[in-house]
Structure 1
Amino acid sequence: MQADLSPVIAATTQWLTGAYPASGGALACALCEVQARQAVTVAARLRYPTPMDVALLGVAGPGGSARLDWITGADGTAPADPDGDAWRTWVDEVVASWAACLLTDPELAALAVAALADGDAAAGTSEGTPVEFRRLLAPDEQDRRAAALLRHPDLAAPVAALHHAQLVDRMNPGQALVA
């Protein structure tokens, strides 16, 4: 199923690393991208947990980056090559918001990865184990420096706040609905 999410994961990761770039050279960029990709992967798998959800995403599309660009102030520049920004149509706003939440809140990240691991264990697979998400869950000092902007709670707050409540609701599915 993750392969079907790959366009959304790739585009949303690219958007996050463009909005909150690494500083410090090629290694820092790679470490920042890995952390963003891990957070986006967890968020995408939580948002689209079933093959039917993924299929509907393929039909309806994820929505694009327009609102995210507006929130972060990146909407004022016209692209030199409109076709070069076609990837932006595969950015999922909710996934980007959830990933920002996970990157800035270690406890929520641990809960999200545990939820994936529980779901995968119930499905009989071993994908989604916490080892797969080490840089998200237990970043070392070099990881933190590389993704300082991406993990900064104040800087990421406008994006994280967009759909934070939905992520918290997803983490607490057993609560009864009140009419």
Structure 2
Amino acid sequence: MGLVWKTIPEEMQEFIRLQKVFFVASAPLDGRVNVSPKGLDTLKIIDERTVAYLDLTGSGNETAAHVLENGRMTMMFLAFSGDALILRLYGQAELIRPDHNEWHVLLSHFGQFPGIRQIFRLSVDRVSSSCGWSVPIFGEATQRDELTNWSTELGESGLAAFRDDKNVVSIDGLTTGYASDDF
């Protein structure tokens, strides 16, 4: 059965570090819930109450709009091999962009990736596990390179134009706070 903690226990931190994919969920106060899968080496545990993930340019920017509106975020991790487990981190998120005074400090936790858009820092106030008995077992996961190749091919000016076109307003009409001169 599931357990609940106020901080991320060390054994759960290790579980998180081993995951090849994680999911981010957010929602506006009135509108659609958004769930996004994330991969690559874009998640870092800062301490037992804080995680951050490096957000790369993508087709939408729903999470930014939701975090700016209300800050709510949930992250979910699934064991696709080994013992069954689902782990969720709940808390308040903060949007960190290049003009934020902590940008360079947080960015230093991550490797270099093309298409870096922003960082989300989650202040965790609840950690919960559940059995995960229905999650299938998969073989060894390998990372895709389509996103990084696409970002490299577009280049900085192409990414700025793409963000201006696709990342300024959420599907519910909320601002994402994005401005191309931030980058």
Q: Which has the higher helix share?
A: 1
Structure of higher RCO (CA pairs closer than 8 Å, 6+ residues apart): 1
Give TM-score, length-normalised by structure 1: 0.26
Give TM-score, length-normalised by structure 2: 0.25
Q: Which has the higher strand share?
A: 2
